[in-house]
Structure 1
Amino acid sequence: MSSSMVEDDTDDELQLSSAALEALNSFLVEKDERQKRFEDLKATLEKEYEERQKIITMEDFEEDWQQSQFWYDSATAEMLAEEILDGAIEGTLVGIVSAPSVFVKIQELKAAERIPDSIKVRLLEFDKRFDLFPEFIHYDFQYPLRLPSELKGKFDRILIDPPFLSNDCQTKSALTARWLMKPWVAPTRAASTSHDSDGRDTAEQSPTRIIICTGQVVKELVEKLFRQAGVRATTLEIRHSKGLSNEFLCYSSFESKRIKWEG
Structure 2
Amino acid sequence: MSSGKVEDGSDDELQLSSVALEALNSFLVEKDERHKRFADLKATLEKEYEERQKVITMEDFEEDWQQSQFWYDPTTAEMLAEEILDGATEKTLVGIISAPSVFVKIQELKAAGRIANSIKVRLLEFDKRFDLFAEFTHYDFQYPLRLPSELKGKFDRILIDPPFLSNDCQTKTALTARWLMKPWVAPTVPASTSHDNCGGNTAEQSPTRIMICTGQVMRELVEKLFRHAGVRATTLEIRHSKGLSNEFLCYSSFESKRIRWEQ
- TM-score, with length taken from structure 2: 0.83
Aligned residue number for residue 91 of structure 1: 91
Aligned residue number for residue 148 of structure 1: 148
- Structure 1 residue 80 corresponds to structure 2 residue 80: yes
Aligned residue identity for 1:35: H
Alignment check: 8 A CA contact 1:68 1:164 kept: yes
Query: 43-52 or 54-63: which moved more?
Result: 43-52
Aligned residue number for residue 162 of structure 1: 162
Aligned residue number for residue 229 of structure 1: 229
* 2:121 match: secondary structure: strand
Aligned-pair CA distance for 1:80: 0.1
Alignment check: 8 A CA contact 2:185 2:206 kept: no
Aligned residue number for residue 66 of structure 1: 66
> Matches of 1:227 and 1:28 in 2, distance apart?
76
Alignment check: 8 A CA contact 2:186 2:206 kept: no
Aligned-pair CA distance for 1:23: 3.4
> Matches of 1:146 and 1:24 in 2, distance apart?
66
Aligned residue number for residue 248 of structure 1: 248
> Matches of 2:18 and 2:185 in 1, distance apart?
79
Matches within 5 A, 1:137-216: 137-188=137-188, 207-216=207-216
Aligned-pair CA distance for 1:224: 1.1
Alignment check: 8 A CA contact 1:97 1:159 kept: yes
Alignment check: 8 A CA contact 1:89 1:205 kept: no
> Matches of 2:139 and 2:185 in 1, distance apart?
25
Cα 1:90–1:17 change in 2 (3 A) is farther
Aligned residue identity for 2:133: F
Cα 1:30–1:261 change in 2 (3 A) is same
> Matches of 2:206 and 2:22 in 1, distance apart?
65
Q: Which runs of 5+ in 1 are unaligned?
A: 1-12, 190-203
Aligned residue number for residue 38 of structure 2: 38
Aligned-pair CA distance for 1:188: 4.4
Aligned residue identity for 1:160: I
> Matches of 2:131 and 2:178 in 1, distance apart?
24
Aligned residue identity for 1:96: I
Question: What is the number of residues matched between the two proteins?
Answer: 237
Aligned residue identity for 2:257: K
Alignment check: 8 A CA contact 1:99 1:160 kept: yes
Q: CA RMSD in A?
A: 2.3
* 2:220 match: secondary structure: helix
Query: 110-119 or 36-45: which moved more?
Result: 36-45
- Structure 1 residue 110 corresponds to structure 2 residue 110: yes
Q: Which runs of 5+ in 2 are unaligned?
A: 1-12, 190-203
Alignment check: 8 A CA contact 2:93 2:154 kept: yes
% identical equivalent positions:
91
- Structure 1 residue 260 corresponds to structure 2 residue 256: no
Aligned-pair CA distance for 1:170: 0.3
Aligned residue number for residue 52 of structure 2: 52
Aligned-pair CA distance for 1:206: 8.8
> Matches of 2:17 and 2:158 in 1, distance apart?
73
Query: 104-113 or 32-41: which moved more?
Result: 32-41
* 1:144 match: secondary structure: coil
